[in-house]
Amino acid sequence: MINLEVPAKAKPLINQAYQAASEVFRPISRKYDRAEHAYPKELDTFAALVDGLNESGEGGAGASGVRRDENGNGGGNVNGANLRTVLGTIEMCWGDVALLLSMPRQGLGNAAIASVANDEQLERFKGTWSAMAITEPEFGSDSAAVSTTAELDGDEYVLNGEKIFVTAGERADSVVVWATLDKSVGRAAIKSFVVEKSRPGITVERLEHKLGIKASDTAVIRLDNCRVPKENLLGSPEIDTKKGFAGVMETFDNTRPLVAAMAVGLARAALEETARILSEAGIDVDYDKPANSQHAAAATYLQLEADYEAAHMLTLAAAWMADNRKPNSVEASMSKAKAGRSVVDITLKCVELCGTLGYSEDSLLEKWSRDSKILDIFEGTQQIQQLIVARRLLGKSSSELK
């Protein structure tokens, strides 16, 4: 049975993350929304604190991983590590999503390393700030369409290709690049490689101008005969057509609940701000009265809050399952799909409910509505998540249900 009560030992972490979000992120949120691509220097000291928490085993805002043994069973996770990370992420994104994505050494590539790397790689890449490079100009959410190549030449792989929408692509020290060892084999040949930015052949072509999460840099990266040691391949170098690229996809079992947690934190921020503005306007939400007997704005707020609670519970469930060595791929996609859709609906409706205050820069509501959309897109779009869930529930393969 899943127990979604917040563990007592996680409450100090939640309080610390909330204080950081309130005292560090919120005060500079609008500043770096306006100063797109400027690095938030205020994060350096805070990132060092998070590193210390992770080293002590008390982390929760960083990039932890879903460790599995060769049979696919969980193993090596600190008890409750994924749930603590999700809870910390919720609090931090209550402060600002883009600033969390801008924190050193907390990139999505770090989650990939934590999930897939062997013990030697974990030690060797310890302390790196790693971005994740999957998407290419020719495809969006279909990860199996990767065309970046990796050819073995002696003791090195030679990588060639172009990656787009790489979060923290300019600031990170390294990039986890998805590439194929053999295009003719299909998805089974797709592997991930840690590519240090200092290596010849990897270049940042440009930074994107975006609708939201402006404090976070989003880069286009080109690989031109970039050579990396074969030891930088994460996971097994063997091409197993029976397993497909399930191994590399296990990364998403960890990162999708994290993105869902980002959405949950942002949705909560919007709901709290909306409740404050409505209360100042004389509209209070009464939980002891039926919705249809209250002000229309209060009734709408109750609907939004119910949507938020559903997303919250699904996200906690996905993390709990990872911590308890249960396969969580379906739940990870469910949480990402629900939270991604809910945060967009909630933030836009909050803007509407608050009228001119919601649409102006007097409040952060308009910023949150812009930030929210990416949470429904990256790490697999809404449509992809629904497709994954449908395949699992119906017992269909990717070729049977497209």
| All residues at 6 or more sequence positions from 275 whose CB lies less than 8 Å from its CB, including other chains | 285, 301
CB-neighbour burial class of residue 14 (10 A; exposed 0-12, middle 13-18, buried 19+): middle
Q: First vs last Cα of the chain: how many Å apart?
A: 33
Paired tokens of 384: 């992809």
Pairing between β-strand 174-180 and β-strand 130-133 as defined by DSSP bridges: parallel
The answer to whether 379 is a known catalytic residue is: yes
Distance, in Å, from the CA atom of 314 to the CA atom of 331, rounded to the nearest integer, reads 7
Do the Cβ atoms of 237 and 49 come closer than 8 Å? no
C-alpha torsion sign, points 282, 25, 163, 315: negative
Choose the catalytic residue: 238, 352, 379, 400. Answer: 379
Distance, in Å, from the CA atom of 128 to the CA atom of 66, rounded to the nearest integer, reads 18
Residue 66: CB atoms within 10 Å: 27
Residues taking part in catalysis: 379
